[in-house]
Amino acid sequence: MTKLYKPDNSFITINLAASAAAMLSLALIGLIMFVLIKGLSYFIVYPTVNVQITDKHGNALEYYAQLYDDKQVQEEHVLLVYHPNTQKNQQLFVHDDNIIYRPIIHPIWTLNLNDGSQIFASHLTLQSSSVPNKIERYSRAAYSDLRDEIYQLQTQLRTLTTTLIPLNIELATFTESGSMKDKIRYEKTHMQIMSLMAQKQQLETQLNGIQIHYQQADGTPISIPLYQVDYLIDSNGLSLLERMSVSALKMWNFMSDDPKQSNASGGVFPALFGTLLLVFLMTILVMPFGVLTALYLHEFAPYNYFTIILRTIITNLAGIPAIVYGVFGLGLFVFVMGTTLDQWLYSDTLPSPTFGAPGLLWAALTMALLTLPVVIVSTEEGLRQVPEGLKKGAMALGATKFEMITKIVLPIASPSIVTGGILAIARAAGEVTPLLLVGAVMSAPVLPVDNEFPFIHLERQFMHLGVLVFDGVFHSQTTIDASSMMFATCLLLILIVIVLNSMASWLRYRLKKQYDWQ
């Protein structure tokens, strides 16, 4: 008996391919959901509890604490408490048997301090400095009155400080020249400064006088200056709407604040800014270089062994580990170019380096080098797609080669050039390893951009979201808050890459629609 038809086995291939695709999408969704849930938990308002804990020595300790986990399910609980003597939050892992939950009679407030720590307290009272010994129970009206007072005092202090700076500079110039006429003016300025300083001191005392008193769980009364408190909430007594607005406030602070408690809480603004600035500078550096190189390789270079070898090298550059680029950047850019630049331009500040140390410029250059192959390869791909007939057509109409390239070739290749840009940006936004060597730091004192000439300080060190995540990994063992701040940073990083990618994809779509030759 002969076989009439060949059995069709293609369903096996189809099923294999489909399950691979399904698993991949599940993994992707899982990753995004994981980061989303973990990251958003940084903005959740957790409940506060009144507990009595038995420590390993058998002592009973009373705490107001923030409870992180679901007490119904787990036996081990994570509690966040505040120690007034160290002025730090501490995280306690306590077994179920060692905890006694006490009834909450007085509302437990969470005071969020400027330095990023949280105080859990009851029996809030407020003290104003203008009326001595007037202590009243916490109320929203009294609180906002005092807030206004603090705001005014701080404004006055700020104006005082700004008037003091030029006077101090003036004083310094008088001290250097020693003539008689100057001596009188010196005395005068000195007096002025002294009186201003006295004023300032008075204001500071006034500011410190506005205080908030609270009680700890064991009843110890403690007071701190109110200006140290950022905002305070009654975590257990919030309605859903209030909860959401507190979460929104936390998100805003996360985006706009500096990191606090050595990157364990607070916001990520400097890192966000640093990341965007780095990506921007990198794009400016890499795009012209990449596009011009690809143009040369495709339009001008003769077809010989040298070109073939060059192209192979460029393609393979994309596979070099990022840390190698970091070492290369450190060696060439920082140590060679930076040091030489310092000797030429900043010889008066040596031996303290200006460009001879890791900084934004070198990081951007290293990242540009890292992403250069991607841009070249994808631009060349685009150039290859330009039909020969169009190039000949342009030449036949009297275009020079330059006009042909700018008017026909580059517009048609522009979607691919933008694709190269997208890939470069995505890679630069997420890459951490080389940055650790050439300029990114865990905490930078100043932003690389300010109102001082030349406004963008390319020699400064900067913060980067990826580096912040890297830092957060080491904190994650100690505080839950830190680990969720790390995840929140991850979430932000993913969001940035998605936003940048969709912007570039939209641009590519527009260009493709405009310069479609088929």
Partner 1 sequence: MNLFSRKTTPLKKLTPENIAVNIESLSVELNNKVVLDNISMRIPAYSITSIIGQSGCGKTTLLNSMNRMNELITDHKITGHIWMDKRDINHKRENVARLRTNVGMVFQQPNPFPMTIYENVGFGLKLQQQYSRRQIDDAIEKALINAGLWDEVKDRLHEPAMILSGGQQQRLMIARALALKPQILLLDEPTSALDPLATLFIEELMQSLKQHTTIVMVTHNMQQAARISDYTAFIHKGELIEYTDSDSLFTQPKHKQTEDYITGRYG
Residues that bind partner 1 (CB under 8 A): 302-303, 387, 389-390, 392-400, 403, 407-408, 411-412, 514-518
Q: How far apart are the C-alpha atoms of 123 and 109, rounded to whole Å?
A: 9
Residue 216 CB-half CA count within 13 A:
17
Question: Which C-beta is closer to partner 1: that of 348 or that of 516?
Answer: 516
- Describe the crossing of helices 10-40 and 480-514 by its angle, rounded to 10 degrees: 130
Longest dimension (CA), the chain: 126
Cis peptide before 351 (omega within 30 of 0): yes
Residue 4 CB-half CA count within 13 A:
0
Minimum distance of partner 1 from residue 421's CB (angstroms)? 20
Minimum distance of partner 1 from residue 416's CB (angstroms)? 14
Minimum distance of partner 1 from residue 321's CB (angstroms)? 38
Minimum distance of partner 1 from residue 377's CB (angstroms)? 23
Question: Which C-beta is closer to partner 1: that of 391 or that of 460?
Answer: 391
CA angle at residue 319 from 420 to 311, to 5 degrees?
Answer: 65
Question: Which C-beta is closer to partner 1: that of 203 or that of 390?
Answer: 390
Cis peptide before 84 (omega within 30 of 0): no
Question: Which C-beta is closer to partner 1: that of 148 or that of 403?
Answer: 403
Question: Which C-beta is closer to partner 1: that of 178 or that of 302?
Answer: 302
Q: How far apart are the C-alpha atoms of 254 and 115, rounded to whole Å?
A: 14
Q: How far apart are the C-alpha atoms of 148 and 129, rounded to whole Å?
A: 13
Minimum distance of partner 1 from residue 380's CB (angstroms)? 18
Q: How far apart are the C-alpha atoms of 265 and 112, rounded to whole Å?
A: 11
| Strand, helix or coil for residue 455 | coil
Which residue intervals of 214-264 are DSSP H helices? 240-256
Neighbours of 310 (CB within 10 A): 14
Question: Which C-beta is closer to partner 1: that of 145 or that of 403?
Answer: 403
The residues facing 61 across adjacent strands are: 53
Q: Which two tokens stand for residue 126?
A: 């407020």
Question: Which C-beta is closer to partner 1: that of 219 or that of 398?
Answer: 398
Question: Which C-beta is closer to partner 1: that of 389 or that of 454?
Answer: 389
Minimum distance of partner 1 from residue 478's CB (angstroms)? 59
Minimum distance of partner 1 from residue 454's CB (angstroms)? 38
Minimum distance of partner 1 from residue 420's CB (angstroms)? 20
